[in-house]
Amino acid sequence: MKTLVVFYSRSGTTKWVAQEVARALNADVDEVIDKKPRKGILGFLIAGYDATKGKTTEIEFEKDPSGYDLVVIGTPVWNGRVTPAIRTYLLQNRGKIGNAAFFCTCAGRGGKCLEQMGEILGRRPVLSKALVKKRLDEGIKELVEELKALSGSTS
């Protein structure tokens, strides 16, 4: 099963998870870049505000998701919500994504993030999982196992 792992990451956690998952699944990886500055205190505050307001943003990414059997999409949780970068990615690629799996990384409160991703895509994911930062290794292991089981059942 041809798999693409797409992610946005502000401070590296979601990037690390995405890379570990992609390595374990032998999948391609694509990073979504948010063109809006998100660093520092001001970047942090605006990030939370933009996520809460459901704002989109200007993004860059490289790979066309339409060529894949499964697209795994990862985002950090911001104020209990999906990031503007992944919101925008889902909106821009709605017609190109077939089977989708979602994951988010968070400090402990995933809120509505995963639910929102399904609403934005307009479809239920084949799998969705919240990974808490304190239990990241365990979360990655579980996510990989669940994704592998999935590919076994669909290939």
Distance, CA of 93 to CA of 66 (rounded, Å): 8
**Which two three-digit tokens encode residue 50?**
């933009």
The residue among 150, 106, 95, 103 whose CA lies nearest residue 5 is 103
Q: For the window 68-87, what string marks contact with ligand FMN as x by the rule CB under 6 A?
A: --------xxxxx-------
Entry field: residues in the chain: 155
Which residue among 33, 42, 107, 149 contacts ligand FMN (CB under 6 A)? Answer: 107
Asked whether 15 and 83 are in contact (CB, 8 A), the reply is no
Contacts to ligand FMN from residues 5-64, by CB under 6 A: 9-15, 44, 47-48
Q: Which is nearer to ligand FMN, 53 or 96 (CB)?
A: 53
Which residue among 20, 24, 111, 151 contacts ligand FMN (CB under 6 A)? Answer: 111
Distance, CA of 91 to CA of 111 (rounded, Å): 20
Nearest distance from residue 41's CB to ligand FMN, in Å? Answer: 11
**Which two three-digit tokens encode residue 17?**
């998870």
Region near ligand FMN per CB under 6 A, out of 85-93, 105-113, 121-129, 143-151: 105-113
Nearest distance from residue 47's CB to ligand FMN, in Å? Answer: 4
The residue among 103, 55, 38, 97 whose CA lies nearest residue 76 is 103
Q: Which is nearer to ligand FMN, 76 or 125 (CB)?
A: 76
* Distance from the Cα of residue 104 to its chain's centroid: 6
- Site for ligand FMN, rule CB under 6 A: 9-15, 44, 47-48, 76-80, 105-109, 111, 133
